[in-house]
Amino acid sequence: MAYETITYEKEDGVAILTMNRPEQRNAISPQMAAEVDDALDQAAADEEVKVLIVTGGSETFSAGMDLKAGRGGGGRRESSIFSIVDGLDAFEKPTIAAVSGYALGGGCELAMTCDLRLASNTATFGFPEVNMGFMPGAGGTQRLPRLVGIANAKEKLFTGERFNAQEAYRIGLVNKVVPVESLMEETKKMAQVLASKAPQALKMLKRCVNDGIQMDLASGLQYAKKASQVLAATRAATAAAGGQRPQ
């Protein structure tokens, strides 16, 4: 597929997916969703790709759904953001959002779907849906409380107010805040750290955290125990077959 609304590149085991609709502040359209889905399929199938970075460049991450695209299209506009977050949810390799400028509404929901988030000092977050009589529908009401706690989440969702990168860091929405000029450099450094780890271990870790948080503690512990046993058996079998420590 030839991309018009995103770019996709690989660099030392790291795939970089960049939303590329600067005139529309990277608003998410049905076309962008289709192209992101295709890029995610590429990255998932490519054994050279160990980590995925999702970004919108230095100016804007994403201002949310494109309210003009898909109008009258039988819900295609609304379904576009669901397609992207569902694709990221199913993506088994580590994902990092590099956020600069606006990350509003669906754009913030997209960033939250990634495993880790780095923000530039110019980043602005928010859930403005309530100001228009709507609510975040692509995971914001569920992921935000899990990331920042119920009280913080309700404050951000109920007020619809925008907040800066330092506030996002304070409440635990982002992992790190860096100067805008070094955002991609710092994100790539983090990606390289993850890319150096054993892929199967990262896959199991991600699965245990994402699935386990939906369970009670006893069930989660049992789930993790079984996953650890499967991973150990896989590593032992691979080593025995190839005579090398599996990566």
Cα-based distances in Å from 130 to 104, 154, 158: 12, 12, 7
Cα-based distances in Å from 171 to 26, 101, 144, 147: 25, 18, 10, 8
HSE, side-chain direction, 13 A CA sphere, residue 157: 20
- Is 35 among the residues known to form the active site? no
Would you call 114 helix, strand, or coil by DSSP? coil
35-70: burial string, b at 16+ Cβ within 10 Å, e else:
bbbebbeebeeeeebbbbbbbbbeebbbbbbbeebb
- Is 129 among the residues known to form the active site? yes
Catalytic residue among 9, 47, 129, 161: 129
Catalytic residue among 9, 48, 109, 167: 109
Between CA 124 and CA 49 the distance in angstroms is: 30
Between CA 235 and CA 61 the distance in angstroms is: 38
Nearby residues of 237 by Cβ (< 8 Å), 6 or more positions away: none
Between CA 222 and CA 152 the distance in angstroms is: 31
Catalytic residues: 109, 129
